[in-house]
Chain A
Amino acid sequence: LAKTTQPISMDSYEGQEVNITCSHNNIATNDYITWYQQFPSQGPRFIIQGYKTKVTNEVASLFIPADRKSSTLSLPRVSLSDTAVYYCLVVGLGANNLFFGTGTRLTVIP
Chain B
Amino acid sequence: GAGVSQSPRYKVAKRGQDVALRCDPISGHVSLFWYQQALGQGPEFLTYFQNEAQLDKSGLPSDRFFAERPEGSVSTLKIQRTQQEDSAVYLCASSLAERGGSRGNEQFFGPGTRLTVL
User: Measuring CB to CB, which residues of chain A are less than 8 angstroms from any residue of chain B?
Assistant: 32, 34, 41-46, 49, 85, 87, 91, 93-103
B106 touches A46 (CB 8 A): yes
Cross-chain contact B48 with A96 (CB below 8 angstroms)? yes
In the assembled complex, B91 has its CB within 8 A of some CB on chain A: yes
From A44, A49, A93, contact of B109 by CB (8 A):
A44
Say whether A94 contacts B99, CB under 8 Å.
yes
Asked whether, in the complex, the Cβ of B100 is within 8 Å of the Cβ of A93, the reply is yes
Which of B11-19, B38-46, B68-76 is near enough to bind chain A? B38-46
Cα distance A100–B99 in the bound complex, in angstroms: 19
Residues of A within 8 A of B109 (CB): 42-45
Contact of A96 among B4, B55, B91, B111 (CB under 8 A): B55
**Cα separation A44 to B42 with both chains bound (whole Å):** 9
Interface residue range, chain B: 20 to 34
* Complexed CA–CA distance, A55 and B7 (Å): 36
- Residue pair A96, B42 in contact (C-beta under 8 Å): no
Contact A41 B42, beta carbon cutoff 8 Å: no
Write out the residue numbers on chain B whose beta carbons fall within 8 Å of the beta carbon of A45: 109
Asked whether A43 and B111 contact (CB < 8 A) given A93-B100, A97-B33, the answer is yes
Question: Measuring CB to CB, which residues of chain B are less than 8 angstroms from any residue of chain A?
Answer: 4, 31, 33, 35, 40-45, 48, 55-56, 59, 91-93, 99-101, 103-112
Assess whether A46 is in contact with B56, with CB atoms less than 8 Å apart.
no
Cβ-defined partner of A99 (8 Å) among B33, B45, B55, B101:
B45
CA distance A46 to B100 in the complex (A): 18
Interface centre among A34, A49, A98 (most CB of B within 10 A): A98
26 A-B pairs with CB atoms under 8 Å apart are A34-B104, A41-B111, A42-B111, A43-B110, A44-B43, A44-B91, A44-B107, A45-B109, A46-B107, A46-B108, A91-B105, A93-B104, A94-B101, A95-B99, A95-B105, A96-B31, A96-B55, A96-B56, A96-B105, A98-B33, A98-B35, A98-B45, A98-B105, A100-B43, A102-B41, A103-B42
